[in-house]
């Protein structure tokens, strides 16, 4: 029901002072919840708490590997399996029980595994583009257009070989999975499932030209002007307007001024 962990980065997010609550890594919490056990973090500055775990490495090295040479992995595994039978027949120095008998009792007390294993994956939030594509790792992956909207955030769960895109909110059936794709190799790759584009705008509602030549605009005859304003705007009618012409001396007579003339200046001398 409980597993003791050392203060490793995969379990503890950061180190804290003795007596303070230890912040656990979210992925470790999810792993423990999936297999239904509690995490017990080893107290700080407690070397005796983890010595028994690390001691197993020295035991295997001294009793199996030391002074021997192996030509293959299979040969080394066979030597280890033969040693395990001898080891389980011995009495443990802590609980003073036969190791094999204690192991059988411990295995019987374990709970059954869940039907699906826990999937360890990177988790990221990314927005959906207008073309229902999501960018991750320099590549684009498609999601169903009918189940998302542009700029919606989706969760990416990435493994070494697979990309899974989940909605942040479950649908009516309680499902969050939107799409699953193989992880692209390299950069600049588009991983698209054609059916995901069903529901995108096709452009049929946009106004387009047909290529027909437009009909020329019919000019109104000179006698069919709509009114005085149209007559002034019509160039042809403007050329027919009679404009009076008169000399500038007429304006001089009306204002009582003398016409402007240019005379050479004279200089009086005494």
The angle at the Cα of 125, spanning 123 to 131, to the nearest 5 degrees, equals 125
Q: CA-to-CA distance for 93 and 75, rounded, in angstroms?
A: 30
- Listed in sequence order, the residues at least 6 apart from 141 whose beta carbon sits closer than 8 Å to its beta carbon are 133, 134, 163, 165, 179, 181, 184, 191, 192
In this predicted structure, the answer to whether residue 163 has a pLDDT above a threshold of 50 is yes
Q: CA-to-CA distance for 43 and 19, rounded, in angstroms?
A: 9
Q: CA-to-CA distance for 151 and 135, rounded, in angstroms?
A: 12
For the segment 121-141, the average pLDDT, to the nearest whole number, is 92
The three-class DSSP label of residue 157 is strand
18-76, pLDDT tens digit by residue?
Answer: 778 889 988 899 899 999 999 998 887 777 776 666 778 888 899 898 888 999 999 99
How does strand 38-41 pair with strand 2-5? parallel
Per-residue pLDDT, 74:
94
In this predicted model, which residue has the larger pLDDT, 16 or 131? 131
61-115, pLDDT tens digit by residue?
Answer: 998 988 889 999 999 999 999 999 999 999 988 889 999 999 999 999 888 899 9
- Listed in sequence order, the residues at least 6 apart from 150 whose beta carbon sits closer than 8 Å to its beta carbon are 128, 129, 130
In this predicted structure, the answer to whether residue 224 has a pLDDT above a threshold of 60 is no
The three-class DSSP label of residue 269 is coil
Q: CA-to-CA distance for 30 and 13, rounded, in angstroms?
A: 14
**Which range (78-87, 161-170, 203-212) has the least confidence?**
203-212
Average pLDDT, the chain: 83
Query: What does the buried/exposed string (b/e) look like for 149-185 if buried means 16 or more CB atoms within 10 Å of the residue's CB?
Result: eeebebebbbeeeebbbbbeeeeeeeeeebbebebbe
Both tokens of 183, joined, read: 């992880």
In this predicted structure, the answer to whether residue 14 has a pLDDT above a threshold of 90 is no
In this predicted model, which residue has the larger pLDDT, 269 or 148? 148
The three-class DSSP label of residue 75 is helix
Question: Which single residue is written with the structure tokens 């059954």?
Answer: 112
CA end-to-end span of the chain: 136
Per-residue pLDDT, 213:
62
Per-residue pLDDT, 15:
83
Do 121 and 146 form a contact (C-beta atoms < 8 A)? no
Domain layout of the chain by residue ranges? 2-109, 122-197
**Which range (180-194, 205-219, 239-253) has the least confidence?**
205-219
In this predicted model, which residue has the larger pLDDT, 260 or 203? 203
**Which range (42-51, 160-169, 190-199) has the least confidence?**
42-51
Place 270 in a pLDDT band, splitting at 50, 70 and 90.
very low
Per-residue pLDDT, 249:
80
The three-class DSSP label of residue 159 is coil
The angle at the Cα of 98, spanning 92 to 100, to the nearest 5 degrees, equals 110
Do 190 and 133 form a contact (C-beta atoms < 8 A)? yes
């Amino acid at each position: 029901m409980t597993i003791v962990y050392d203060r490793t980065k995969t379990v503890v997010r950061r180190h804290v002072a003795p007596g303070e609550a230890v912040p656990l890594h979210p992925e470790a919490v999810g792993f423990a919840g999936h297999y239904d056990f509690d995490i017990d973090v080893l107290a700080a500055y407690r070397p005796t708490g983890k010595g028994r775990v690390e001691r197993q490495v020295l035991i295997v090295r001294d009793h199996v590997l030391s002074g021997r040479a192996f030509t293959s992995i299979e040969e080394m595994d066979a030597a280890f399996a033969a040693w395990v039978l001898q080891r389980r027949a011995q009495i443990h120095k802590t609980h003073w029980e036969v190791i094999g008998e204690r192991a059988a009792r411990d295995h019987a007390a374990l709970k059954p595994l869940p039907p699906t294993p826990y999937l360890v994956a990177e988790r990221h939030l990314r927005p959906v583009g207008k073309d229902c594509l999501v960018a991750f790792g320099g590549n684009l992956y498609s999601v169903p257009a009918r189940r998302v909207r542009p700029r919606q955030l989706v969760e990416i769960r990435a493994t070494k070989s697979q990309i899974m895109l989940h909605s942040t909110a479950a649908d009516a059936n309680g499902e969050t999975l939107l799409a699953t794709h193989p992880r692209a190799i390299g950069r600049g790759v588009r991983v698209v499932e054609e059916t995901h584009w069903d529901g995108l705008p096709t452009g049929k509602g946009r106004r387009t030209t047909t290529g027909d030549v437009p009909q020329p605009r019919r000019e109104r005859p000179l006698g069919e002007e709509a009114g005085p304003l149209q007559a002034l705007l019509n160039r042809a009618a403007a050329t027919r307007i009679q404009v009076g012409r008169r000399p500038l001396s007429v304006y001089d007579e009306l204002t009582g001024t003398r016409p402007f003339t240019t005379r050479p200046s004279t200089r009086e001398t005494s």
